[in-house]
Amino acid sequence: MLDTSSSNLKNKALYQLILDWYGTPYAFGNNTKKGIDCSGFTQIIYKEIYKKDLPRRSSDMSELIERKYSKDLKEGDLVFFSFGNSKEINHVGIYLSNNKFVHASTKKGVIVSDLTEPWYGDYLVKCGPIK
């Protein structure tokens, strides 16, 4: 899934937590295994893995990052998207490696996607680590 061997993964707890949630369906405003949205999933990962509390909304999370270029992303950095006609940030994911990121997709639930896919690459508006 990440185009790397498991021996190259630094943060085993992160990947175990992702596996635990993988496939959980999308449900706006929820944060349980019955359904979760992108910001709720990001909050859980950051609370359990990085011991940091994040705001509930992706647009509010985006105000806390130190911006960087997508080519410089590191595991755990946040990636923000603006889908639709508005310029407002309305989706968030967590960067893993090799252009892959984990997020709660509205159609597929918790999945790993690739930033180079046109659907994501065209709508990526901000990324970086929490300050």
- Residues annotated as part of the active site: 38, 91, 103
Encoded tokens for 78: 């946040």
Q: Which helix (H) or strand (E) holds 15?
A: helix 12-21
Angle of helix 38-49 versus helix 12-21 axis, rounded to 10: 150
CA distance 48 to 40: 12
